[in-house]
Chain A
Amino acid sequence: MDMNEIKEIFFQECEEQLAELESGLLRLNDGDRDPETVNAVFRAVHSIKGGAGAFGLDDLVSFAHVFETTLDCVRSNKLEPNQDVLKVMLKSADVLADLTNVARDGGSVDQARSAQLIRELEALAKGEAPPAAAPVAATPKVVAAPAAPAPVVSDDGFVPVAFSFDDFGDDDVSADLPAYDVVFKPKSELYTKGNEATLLLRDLSRLGEMSIHCNMDSLPPLDQMDPEAAYFSWKVSIKTDKGEDAVRSVFEFAEWDCDLEVTAQESGDVAEATGDDLPMQPVPFDLSALDDELDAPLGVVEEEEQIAAVQEAVAAAEAASNVVQMAASASRGAASDKGAAAAAAQNNAQQASAAAPTIRVDLDRVDRLINLVGELVINQAMLSQSVIENDSNGVSSINMGLEELQQLTREIQDSVMAIRAQPVKPVFQRMARTVREIADITGKSVRLVTEGENTEVDKTVIDKLAEPLTHMIRNAVDHGLEMPEKRIAAGKNAEGTVKLTAKHRSGRIVIELSDDGAGINREKVRQKAIDNDLIAADANLSDEEIDNLIFHAGFSTADKVSDLSGRGVGMDVVKRSIQALGGRINISSKPGHGSVFTMSLPLTLAVLDGMVVTVAGQTLVVPLTAIVETLQPDAAAIHSFGATQRLISIRNSFCPLVDVGRILNFRATQANPVEGVALLVESEGGGQRALMVDAIQGQRQVVIKSLEANYTHVPGIAAATILGDGRVALILDVDAVVSASRGQSLHTETSLAAAG
């Protein structure tokens, strides 16, 4: 493993930890006071700090450290996690995420913001902490042992590598170095988790000149003792120039399982300060022989003595990533068996992690596999077609085999697609942050409720979902929700609620965003639309049509253009990105009760269910999701309208007829509607149009091939696919064709191409 790979793993783990952190904080925000939740939050920050230290990410470490200190106050019940405290914490989590991103991708963070938060955090830590713990860094980290196991040492022989060891080597310890008293009392959990007091003491001894006294007073006679319980405790006095933090960091990964007190001695004189009542045994500094013997059977990664600093960091990183994993699995395990013996919890943790073993795979590899499976599907279709063409006997055994092959390929395709499926949780969690930030700027009090975060959808859909969702959330908070005073006046809770839900519905994912705000002000929207010449002043629009006006370009009802929204780019962009994903968006609003936006998206962008049609001798594919119904037009139902336009009457309502062949320039003259088939499609703005095609060949699942990537963008065409006979068929961009029929040129239409 080279350094970069390990760093990459660290950042991946960081992401998981940040998610854990955020959901923990949100649970606390909801009033959850379970110590395990606090511990999970603490562990997340702690693990990030540990890993970051190993890579020398100082900004991250210093921020995480302050954050951790404040969390520690919460954990030790010195600080009540009320709403104000959690607000600061949630913001800190955001900054921590920013810092992590900066550490990975470069760039810069808002220094002022993090400095401000550091001050706030420190104030919180100090404000409620007892005066004894005045220096923030010195807040004792003595806490009750959590039920869940801390990072475990034994499995892989990882020793808590204190990253402050870098400068180990200049070991000429002089007599006037600052001295510290360390009282270290392991709990039984320390041992049951595979940690080892001797190793901790060995690490401690490396920091400097150390004297030790082992307190055996509590050791019972042999027949009354529990061989796996902790009886020994140690009082150590150590002279080191590495500082108190270095001393503490030795016990970093064991601190939940021991009582630890580190105090600086006033004078540098160790022997007198401690030697009067306790016989201290000086520890020889030369422990190299011991190291070798201790290290070898353990298979410990660290070998600072011989290896350069880089490799040391490597070991530390591996350790760090282990910590992260263990902590994650620990929290999973602990959830199911709270308060049980530590050993039992550890078992649970192992079972939990054993139940769902996962691997990390490069997305490129999955994409390549998906692409190949797509080719396989096409190839299979071609093969079966040629067999059918050459098979004069009708049914043959080859046909049967081909059918089985078809089933298999379909199954392979589904399974491969499932690999790419990811829960929408990360996107939803990002939204939580957006809500917080906007609530902050607007001065509104908002609560984001999420549901169905574990609903799975293709990775590409998730990636492209974030932007429109952010837009919509901004709108919901900025425009949708009222100011707290107004809400109270309207008899609502001062705190507005924005609800984000995801669910599967008939092969698609449905994402719903609702707020309990004022709803759409239809009068205002209508007036605005008239002002902007979007509709005629006397146009008679239904409520639904008015609501849909907000999806028009250049539309904003906000009185003032704010930082957040109201610049007129917003909902039209949202709609366009949703449609680019092959999705639909709907709005329903109730004045005084809020609005609900419903998005329905395909689960994947790699395949598409389409209707294969013929237009002027060309084969086209129309996405099935766009089609509402198909019909055979009657001559009587066709009405001319103006010079070139025609309407079709369907169940007593008129619908514009769109001649696809004419718009795509497949033919020069208008086709006769009676000879063709009309596909009723839902188009932009909610209106229906009848697309006229010559004939329907059938329904088929097609593998989308990007036209842009392989050729160039073609107006009115979203993508291409390869049919069973080996011919390329174009996938129709329904919305582009419909707007072209309204007189707008196809060429100015921006690409709505589906990704291939």
Chain B
Amino acid sequence: MAAKKAARKSLSLAPVLDLNEANALHGKLMALRGNPLAIDASAVERVGALCVQVLMAGAKSWEEDNQSFTFAKVSDAFTKTTQLIGVNIDHLMAKEI
């Protein structure tokens, strides 16, 4: 986990990640581009497919940048939803928690 150093940023997700939030989330991620990122999804109560798309696109881009992109904490709802829609985030889960 070399990339996870001082420059590491974290992003807390809003409780409701619906259509309205997708743009905002996209903007936030764009602003954090180039830094290792830990996402806190522990407050998430509801997440829609659009936001999952944004997050997955983020993961892809972070991978291209060779930066770490992890979910530090996730809520039950977040896990269940990603499971439900067949999006595997296991490899993005922070291992040390």
Pick from B54, B84, B85: contact of A225, CB under 8 Å: B54
Contacts of A214 in B (CB 8 A): 85-87
Contacts of A280 in B (CB 8 A): 86
Pick from A154, A205, A220, A227: contact of B25, CB under 8 Å: A227
Cα(A231)–Cα(B53), bound, Å: 7
Q: Are A219 and B60 in contact (CB under 8 A)?
A: yes
Q: What residue of chain B has the Cβ atom nearest to residue A211's Cβ? A: B86
Q: Are B57 and A222 in contact (CB under 8 A)?
A: yes
Contacts of A154 in B (CB 8 A): 18-19
Question: Beyond A283-B86, A293-B76, is A194–B19 a contact (Cβ under 8 Å)?
Answer: yes
Q: Are A198 and B85 in contact (CB under 8 A)?
A: yes
A213 within 8 A of B: yes
Binds B, one of A284-292, A411-419, A597-605, A700-708: A284-292
Question: Beyond A281-B83, A297-B16, is A227–B50 a contact (Cβ under 8 Å)?
Answer: yes
Cα(A287)–Cα(B84), bound, Å: 9
A197 within 8 A of B: yes
B10 within 8 A of A: no
Cα(A79)–Cα(B30), bound, Å: 49
Contacts of B18 in A (CB 8 A): 154, 196
A57 within 8 A of B: no
Measured between C-beta atoms, what is the minimum distance from A615 to chain B in Å?
76
Cα(A154)–Cα(B25), bound, Å: 19
Q: Are A297 and B61 in contact (CB under 8 A)?
A: no
Report the interface size for chain B: residues with CB under 8 A from the other chain. Answer: 36
A298 within 8 A of B: yes
Cα(A219)–Cα(B57), bound, Å: 6
Contacts of B85 in A (CB 8 A): 197-198, 201, 212, 214, 232, 234
Q: Are A232 and B25 in contact (CB under 8 A)?
A: no
Q: What residue of chain A has the Cβ atom nearest to residue B49's Cβ? A: A197
B13 within 8 A of A: no
Q: Are A227 and B61 in contact (CB under 8 A)?
A: no
Pick from B15, B45, B57: contact of A220, CB under 8 Å: B57
Contacts of B46 in A (CB 8 A): 293-294, 297-298
Q: What residue of chain A has the Cβ atom nearest to residue B29's Cβ? A: A222
Question: Beyond A191-B50, A197-B49, is A223–B84 a contact (Cβ under 8 Å)?
Answer: no
B42 within 8 A of A: no
Cα(A223)–Cα(B46), bound, Å: 24
Cα(A139)–Cα(B81), bound, Å: 31
Q: Are B61 and A201 in contact (CB under 8 A)?
A: no
A1 within 8 A of B: no
Within 8 A of B (CB), among A256-313: 280-281, 283-284, 287, 289-290, 293-294, 296-298
Contacts of B19 in A (CB 8 A): 154, 191-192, 194, 196, 228
Measured between C-beta atoms, what is the minimum distance from B52 to chain A in Å?
7
Cα(A281)–Cα(B91), bound, Å: 14
Q: What per-residue 1/0 map shows which CB atoms of B8-23 lie under 8 Å from chain A? A: 0000000110110011
Q: What residue of chain A has the Cβ atom nearest to residue B77's Cβ? A: A293
Q: What per-residue 1/0 map shows which CB atoms of B29-62 lie under 8 Å from chain A? A: 1100100000000000111111011101110110
Q: Are B57 and A221 in contact (CB under 8 A)?
A: yes
Q: Are A186 and B58 in contact (CB under 8 A)?
A: no
A216 within 8 A of B: yes
Measured between C-beta atoms, what is the minimum distance from A187 to chain B in Å?
12
Cα(A325)–Cα(B90), bound, Å: 43
A202 within 8 A of B: yes
Q: Are A222 and B30 in contact (CB under 8 A)?
A: yes
Q: What residue of chain B has the Cβ atom nearest to residue A288's Cβ? A: B80
Q: What per-residue 1/0 map shows which CB atoms of A200-211 lie under 8 Å from chain B? A: 011001000000
Contacts of A196 in B (CB 8 A): 18-19, 48-49
Contacts of A192 in B (CB 8 A): 19
Contacts of B61 in A (CB 8 A): 221-223
26 contacts between A and B (CB under 8 A): A154-B18, A154-B19, A196-B18, A198-B48, A198-B49, A214-B86, A216-B56, A221-B60, A221-B61, A221-B64, A222-B26, A222-B29, A222-B30, A223-B33, A225-B26, A227-B53, A228-B22, A231-B57, A232-B52, A284-B83, A287-B84, A290-B77, A290-B84, A293-B46, A293-B76, A296-B45
Q: Which 6 A-B residue pairs are closest in the complex by CB-CB distance? A: A212-B86, A214-B86, A227-B26, A290-B80, A222-B61, A197-B49
Using a CB–CB cutoff of 8 Å, the interface residues on chain B facing chain A are 15-16, 18-19, 22-23, 25-26, 29-30, 33, 45-50, 52-54, 56-58, 60-61, 64, 76-77, 80-81, 83-88
Using a CB–CB cutoff of 8 Å, the interface residues on chain A facing chain B are 154, 186, 191-192, 194, 196-198, 201-202, 205, 212-214, 216, 219-223, 225, 227-228, 230-232, 234, 236, 280-281, 283-284, 287, 289-290, 293-294, 296-298
Beyond known contacts A197-B48, A216-B56, A227-B54: 4 more, CB 8 A cutoff: A192-B19, A221-B57, A223-B33, A234-B86
